[in-house]
Amino acid sequence: MLVDVFNMEGKKVKSVELPAEVFEAPVYLDLMHQAYVRQMANARLGTHDTKVRGEVAGGGRKPWKQKGTGRARQGSIRSAHWKGGGRIHTPHPHSYRLAMPVKMRRAALRSALTVKAQESALILVDELSLSEPKTRLMAKALNSLVGNASALVLIPEKSAYEGVIRSTNNIPDAKVMLASYLNIRDLLSFKKVILPVAALDVITATLG
């Protein structure tokens, strides 16, 4: 697949061929869904908790004697049917973690990247750099490249792109992340994917 490469002003400078093993892979919608559900589930803390009757303070004494009062027998005022009592069948801390083999996760990413390529949602730039780390400059560049669409910016490494990272922090519809940290949730959450030509090597090395 041959795609155009743009500069920061949105002008075409050349064309490159995308690696077929990553950007022309079979599209497995079920794997993409499974990978997305797994990532969202693994992000849950699972710290929700409610108290059962043995954890609620009080209720240690039988409220009234067993017989002779004409009232229903009760053993504790902290039973579940009492106001202020314990709870039953309610959440307690547990892990939501789901497992998924690495090969399947990588296949899901290749599927998502292939879909992005087919939809012309991959925007390649020859060099991703700014004269100074200013939000205004980055916003102008994003507008030239993707217009009003949300954008995920993938960078090959961090040290050479500190200005780009700082300039994008205050832009609500854009996110910068390392290409080696690419994940299915971020890939599907943004309309466009912007990546320097140098980031192709990182993605190919990881997913190829």
* 154-178 pLDDT per residue, tens: 999 998 899 999 999 999 999 999 9
Q: If one looks up domain 2-44+98-207 in CATH, what number appears?
A: 3.40.1370.10
Q: What does the chain come to in residues?
A: 208
Nearest CA among 1, 24, 17, 208 for reference residue 113: 24
Distances (CA, A) of 58 to 6, 75, 189: 70, 12, 49
Question: Residue 148: its pLDDT value, please?
Answer: 92
What is the mean pLDDT, run by run of 10 residues, along the chain of 208 residues? 90 91 95 97 96 93 95 95 95 96 96 95 91 92 94 93 93 94 95 93 91
Question: Over the stretch 94-103, which tens digit does the pLDDT of each residue have?
Answer: 999 999 999 9
Question: Residue 101: its pLDDT value, please?
Answer: 97
C-beta atoms surrounding 152 within 10 Å: 21
Domain boundaries, the chain: 2-44+98-207, 45-95
C-beta atoms surrounding 148 within 10 Å: 8
Question: Over the stretch 123-148, which tens digit does the pLDDT of each residue have?
Answer: 999 988 888 999 999 999 999 999 99
> Strands 151-155 and 174-178, how do they pair?
parallel
